[in-house]
Amino acid sequence: MVESALENVRLLESLKFNNFKISAKASSVLDTINVYELVSNKVDYPLHLGVTEAGPRFRGGIKSSVGIGILLSKGIGDTIRVSLTGKSIDEVKAAYIILNSLGLRRVGVDIISCPTCGRTTDDLKQIVDEIEKLTAGIKKNLKLAVMGCIVNGPGEAKDADLGIAFGKEKAAVFLKGRVIKRVDKNIASKELKKELERLVPHE
C-alpha cells in the first residue's frame, strides 16, 4: 500500500500537480498506523487519516479512536474521517471526541463520569444519558462531571467546570471542585441544568 501511494504521488508530480492530500486507510488498525508512519517519512503532503470499514458505532468508534489517535499523538495527519456503519452524525461526533481528547480542537461538552461502585445507589447511566442529550447542542468548551458517590466525586472531578455527585439521599452540585449546593436527588438533574444555563446562557 505504501508503494502504491508513493507511485500515485510520483504520477501527480510528473503532471506538475501538487495540490492534493494522501489517504492510505486500511481496515486493520495496525496496518493503518504502519502505512501512515511510513508514508509520512517519505513525503510532505497532507495526510487524510482514518480506519476504513471500521464497523458499527461501538466497535468502529474504538478502532478509529485507537488508529487515528495514535497517529495524531505522533504529529501525523492533517484531516480525519471516522468511518462507521450507521449515521453520519455519529462519525462527526466521534471525530470531535478524538480531537477533544488529544487537545487538538476543543469544542462542546466533555462529560466525565465514574464507572460506579458499591457506593452508587442511582442509575448513573440513565442520568448520564439525559445529560448527554441536554448538552448535545452546546459548542462552548466545558468539562461536566457526573459522579456516583459524594465521597470521592467532587475531589476526583475537581477539574470539571460543573458537576454533580450523588449520595444516599442528597446530591452535591459543585463548581470547579467546590460544592455550591446540596439538593434532593429527585431534582438534582434540574439543578445541574440551572447551573449549566448560567455557564452557557445563550446556547
Whole domain around residue 152: which residue ranges? 109-199
Radius of gyration of the chain (CA): 22
Which of 45, 73, 101 is at the close of a domain?
A: 101
Q: Is 0.85 topped by the overall pTM?
A: no
Length of the chain: 203
- Report d(CA 185, CA 74) in Å as an integer: 44
| C-alpha to C-alpha distance for 54 and 131, rounded to whole angstroms | 28
H-type helices in 15-141, by residue range?
Answer: 29-42, 57-73, 88-101, 124-134
Q: Per-residue pLDDT tens for 138-163?
A: 889 999 999 887 777 777 778 899 99
Task: For residues 65 and 142, state if they share a domain.
Answer: no
CA atoms of 37 and 56, how far apart (whole Å): 26
- Residue ending a domain, choose from 101, 135, 151: 101
Does one domain contain both 73 and 46? yes
Summarize pLDDT for 34-87 with one digit per residue, the tens: 999 999 999 999 999 999 998 999 999 999 999 999 999 999 999 999 999 989
